[in-house]
């Protein structure tokens, strides 16, 4: 029996693309390796400068949360067994990079359809709607996001100059009910995420505060 039989099962982080109308899953983008770190920044929403004193403690909506992560993609394991991974031999990791690039690019068919509408004299053409992207980072963090920043550093290449190792940096913005509304699929998912954070906060220990005197508060 292996000495690792009791090791916890590794959960892969990634991004799931969902149809915004039907909630049907269009694509699952699992990260090859979970990043070592995930940076989070939360910006409070308040009435702003010049607000009256009575507004000092008011919140105008959920905090704006931005996330940043760096993922590695490496074809080394697949290239050790070329007969089993012909696609990797022929194109390296270019297909995986192309999938990530599709997060921020409209489809060519959509662009051609817009051109056809413009050529036909259509006066008002609605902007293209992307799939709803969900960051899945364990059971307690499934949240709708928009990709704000995206960079790729290709670090190694095969003889045909296909990339075989790369680092991808993703900058994400959490979409809230202020962005999507309560009735949108993504708005409901954000509310579930917010409620999960509230449940986690309820589990935090408060040892040492019971006897604290805060300004004579009862």
Q: Which tens digit of pLDDT belongs to each residue from 62-73?
A: 999 999 999 999
The confidence band for 217, taking pLDDT boundaries of 50, 70 and 90, is low
Q: Tell me the per-residue pLDDT of 156-186, one tens digit each, with 9 for 90 and over.
A: 999 999 999 999 999 999 999 999 999 999 9
115, two tokens: 């051109």
Q: Strand ranges (DSSP E) for the chain?
A: 14-18, 25-30, 38-43, 64-74, 132-136, 142-157, 163-174
Helix, strand or coil for residue 173? strand
Record the pTM. 0.81
Whether the pLDDT of residue 8 is over 70: the answer is no
Number of H helices, E strands in the chain: 6, 7
Mean pLDDT (whole number) for 106-135: 87
16: number of Cβ within 10 Å: 17
Residues in Cβ contact with 178 at an 8 Å cutoff, skipping those fewer than 6 apart: 45, 61, 62
CA dihedral (84, 85, 89, 94) in degrees, to 10, reads: 180
Find the mean pLDDT for residues 35-62. 83
Report whether 56 contacts 124 (CB < 8 A): no
Q: If you average pLDDT over residues 46-66, what whole number do you get?
A: 81
């Amino acid at each position: 029996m292996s000495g690792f039989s009791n090791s916890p099962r590794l959960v892969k982080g990634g991004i799931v693309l969902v149809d915004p109308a039907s909630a049907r899953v269009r694509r699952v983008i699992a990260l090859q390796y979970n990043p070592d770190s995930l940076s989070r920044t939360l910006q409070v929403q308040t009435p702003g400068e010049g607000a009256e004193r009575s507004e000092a403690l008011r919140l105008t909506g959920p905090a704006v949360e931005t996330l940043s992560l760096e993922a590695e993609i490496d074809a080394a394991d697949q290239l050790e067994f070329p007969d089993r991974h012909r696609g990797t031999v022929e194109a390296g990791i270019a297909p995986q990079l192309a999938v990530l690039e599709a997060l921020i690019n409209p489809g060519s068919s959509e662009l051609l359809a817009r051109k056809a509408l413009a050529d036909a004299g259509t006066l008002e053409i609605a902007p293209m709607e992307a799939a709803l992207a969900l960051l899945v980072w364990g059971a307690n963090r499934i949240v709708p996001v928009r990709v704000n920043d995206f960079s790729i550093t290709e670090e190694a290449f095969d003889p045909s100059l296909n990339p075989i190792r790369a680092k991808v940096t993703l900058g994400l913005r959490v979409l809230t009910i202020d962005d999507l509304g309560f009735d949108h699929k993504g708005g409901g998912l954000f509310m579930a995420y917010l409620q999960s954070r509230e449940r986690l906060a309820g589990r935090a220990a408060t040892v040492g505060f019971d006897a604290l005197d805060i300004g004579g508060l009862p």
